[in-house]
Amino acid sequence: MTENRWFPVKEKMSKPSARKLGRPPGSNGAVTRGRILRSARALFSTVGYRDATPAEIAEDAGVTRSTIYRYFPSKSDLYAAVFESMYPSVIDRMRTQTSAHTALVDQVATVFRVCAALNHEDPTYARFAITSLVDGLRYPELTNQAREQIGEMRDFFLVSVDRAIARGELPSDVDSRVIGDMLVAILCGMGLFSAIVGTERETDDATEMLVRFLAGELSAASGRVLTTDPGP
């Protein structure tokens, strides 16, 4: 089992330096905590849970290691805080923006566009979302966060699919949970693409093509052309 503390038993903390410990003078606690969370999210999403060190996070956040220990007694505490600072707000944003639409295809399109927009705003969102699933499989102390992430998305899509069935948009005999799982799988795949493989432009193009595909616009009968606008 991976150590839950910042320092495994075999490692020893180095002797404190003469530098004054704690957060920078005059800094605000909430601001300092936010900087730590942003730096931790960037590092976790780049090197993973195991290899992220308090020294690297502290350097990037502009604080001392003792400041990190004060806010987060263990690495798993920090990881959980990063998750809680990001994921609920992402789900809330999806719910808010999809509430403006009724048709299932429009709601699903909105979800994928929200994810693409988040990747524009901060690429570490997509990277952390994907790497947290992998780390959740590897390290028992992170399993709950990974399960919560998948569970939230399943529930989100399940509600939308059930409502679409009730409106007659989908056949009444389809399994809404299977459709929800299919959409979660597609979302995870798009998240992996945007986080690791594609550029922002490629992610945007793939998102819009996926939306057209889900809307049935790419079938031969539709007469649509399977291309994207190259832009200026």
Residue 118 CB-half CA count within 13 A: 24
Helical residues (DSSP H) of the chain, grouped into ranges: 29-51, 54-61, 65-71, 75-98, 104-121, 123-138, 143-167, 176-192, 200-214
pLDDT at 149: 87
Fold that domain 29-73 belongs to in CATH: Arc Repressor Mutant, subunit A (1.10.10)
In CATH terms, are 29-73 and 79-222 the same topology? no
Local structure of 23: helix, strand or coil: coil
The pLDDT of residue 13: 41
pTM over 0.95? The answer is no
Q: How far apart are CA 185 and CA 181, in angstroms?
A: 6
Domain boundaries, the chain: 29-73, 79-222
Q: What is the CATH number of domain 79-222?
A: 1.10.357.10
Q: Over the chain (232 residues), what is each successive 10-residue block's mean pLDDT?
A: 47 41 59 95 93 94 94 93 88 90 92 89 88 91 89 92 94 94 92 86 91 79 48 47
pLDDT at 2: 44
Instruction: Retrieve residue 26's tokens.
Output: 């005059």
